[in-house]
Every structure is written in C-alpha cells, then in structure tokens.
Amino acid sequence: MNSIEYKKRLDSVFKKIVFFFTFISVLALAAILIFTLIKALPLFKEVDIISFITSDVWAPTSGQYGILSFIVASVLTTIAAVIIGIPVGLYTAIFISEIAPKKIGNVVLSAVEILAAIPSVVYGFFGLTLVVPLVQEVFGLRSGSTLLTASIILALMILPTVVSLSTSALKSVPKTIDEGSLALGATKIQTIFKVKIPYAKSGILTSFLLGLGRALGETMAVILVAGNSNAMPILNPLYEAFLSGGRTLTGNIVMELAYASGTHEAALFATGVVLFIFVSIINIFILFVKKREV
C-alpha cells in the first residue's frame, strides 16, 4: 500500500468515526426528547395544553397545573441577566482584544474563563451569603431572595460565554480592516465601535444568544437565591416583580420531581418540554444568524 492509498484509507476511517459520534449525539438528543414527551403525555388527558401554559395556578394537590408564573419568572430573570451581563461581557472582550497589552489580556481572559469551571451551586452559595443580604439592605426588603438577585447571579454566570466568544469574534477581524480604518483618520475607539464590532456582529450576537440559553437553563444557583415562590410575579409596576421571589421552570422541576407521581410527574415533564422549546428557539435563531453570515 503506497502512502496516497494509506492517507485515503485513514481519511475514510476518520470520517466514519466522526459520523459515528455525531450520530450518537443526535440519537441521545432524540432519545431525551422522545422520553420527555412520552412522560408528559398523561398530563394532557386531564389538562388542556392551553390552560397548562396560560394558567398561573400551580396546585398539584388540587389537580391544578398552570406554569405561566414559572414562564414569566424565567423570562424576567433571563432578560435581566442578559441586560446586566452582556454590556459587562462585551466591554471586557473589547478590553482583552483591543486595549490591554497581550499578556494582561491573556491573564484577564484566563481569569474570566475560570468562572466557567465553577459549579453552579457555588454561585448559589455566593449569592445566598453576599448578594441576598446586599439586595435586602439596599432595597429595604424582608428577604433578599428575589428575581433581581437571581438575575445578578445569572449575569455573572454567563460572562465566560459572552467574553470568550466575543473576544474570539473581535480577534478574527482581519488586521487590514483595522489598518484601513486608521489610515482613513478614524480613532482607535471609532475603529472598534464603528468598524470592528459591526464586522464581527454575527459572532458577538451568537455569544449573546448562547449566554441567553445558559441563563434560561440554569437551575441550582437560581433555586438558592430566587425565593421559589410559585405566585405570579407582579408585572405592574414591573420593578415589583424583580423585588419579589419567584420560581423558574427549571427550579420547579428540580424542587418537585423527587416526590411527584402520576399527573403531577407528567406536569413536570411537560414543563421540561416547554423549556426544551424555548432553548430550541434560541438555537434556531443562532443557526439563522450564522447562515446569514455565510
């Protein structure tokens, strides 16, 4: 066997290995989805799917299953986390890639990436011991376990995703773009905000969306700091919702699945299906963004 045939055979084997593991990943995802749907189906024999989503009354002991309050709490905490975390993450990425000396930038990036390795329960304990008392004191509340506290912790947790991907997106901009902008008389700041960020907008937007997905799916940290009230958050005025406790979709599943059975258990799996739909919408949007870039 000559070297060319050997390389071709090696490439063929490698492609088969890659296909095999890709197939396993897709199969695992399909299995999870099918299992969750099957476990959720018994609920809809007793509860209408529309009322399940639009009712805010969750009382399994009396046969009432409405997850609107959990959806609202999840959406509010996720949006607030993104509003808090994205500016911090983007400006940190700008500092690392455009302003700081290379050695300092690498140190800062490494420090931020370490945040991704910290278990979520540690974030929860950090929030419980530091952020909860701080929110309680600043706003004069009975308890600092609020949706605002959860949003602050989630904002901290999405930083590694936003910073790492935004930094990579900015560094991927060709140097000729920089040089051309500066040669035309633009300042360094103008070049960053009017040239480089628009050029790298697809990668930056992807980092935002992945951070959004991370915030939406987080569980343990939120359980520890959000208060876990299953009451509908007050939406008028909106700030009252953030200063009260709430329970997210993931938090409701984790808190009740251990002792749930029958229709109650099916309702929790149905909650998981709703969460899966939300995450799928985010992923579809990410694919749409990448497709437009191509």
| Structural domain for 36, as ranges | 1-45
Could you tell me where the beta strands, DSSP code E, fall in the chain? 58-59, 64-65
**Residues 268, 205 within the same domain:** yes
Instruction: Determine the angle formed by the axes of helices 68-94 and 201-217, rounding to 10 degrees.
Output: 140
Distances from the Cα of 259 to the Cαs of 116, 140, 156, 231, 262, in angstroms? 31, 36, 32, 21, 10
Q: Could you list the pLDDT tens digit for every one of the 294 residues in the chain?
A: 567 777 778 888 888 898 899 999 899 989 998 999 999 999 988 888 888 999 989 988 888 899 999 999 999 999 999 999 999 999 999 999 989 888 998 899 888 888 888 888 899 999 999 999 999 999 988 888 999 999 999 999 999 999 999 999 998 888 888 888 888 888 888 888 888 888 888 888 888 888 888 888 888 889 999 988 888 888 878 888 899 988 999 999 988 988 888 899 999 999 999 998 888 888 888 777 767 655
Cβ atoms of residues 125 and 224 within 8 Å: yes
Q: Residue 85 sits in a domain of what CATH number?
A: 1.10.3720.10
Cβ atoms of residues 159 and 123 within 8 Å: no
What domain count does the chain have? Answer: 2
**Residues 34, 53 within the same domain:** no
Nearest CA to 166 among 121, 107, 112? 112
**Residues 138, 246 within the same domain:** yes
The overall pTM is greater than 0.85:
yes
**Residues 180, 269 within the same domain:** yes
Bridge partners of residue 59, in order along the sequence: 64
**Residues 11, 132 within the same domain:** no
Burial classification of residue 203, based on how many CB atoms lie within 10 Å of its CB (0-12 exposed, 13-18 middle, 19 or more buried): buried
229 DSSP 8-state letter: -
Cβ atoms of residues 252 and 70 within 8 Å: yes
Sign of CA dihedral 11, 12, 14, 18: positive
Instruction: Determine the angle formed by the axes of helices 262-293 and 3-40, rounding to 10 degrees.
Output: 140
Q: What pLDDT score does 293 carry?
A: 59
Cβ atoms of residues 183 and 174 within 8 Å: no
**Residues 135, 264 within the same domain:** yes
**Residues 12, 57 within the same domain:** no
**Residues 37, 53 within the same domain:** no
**Residues 262, 136 within the same domain:** yes
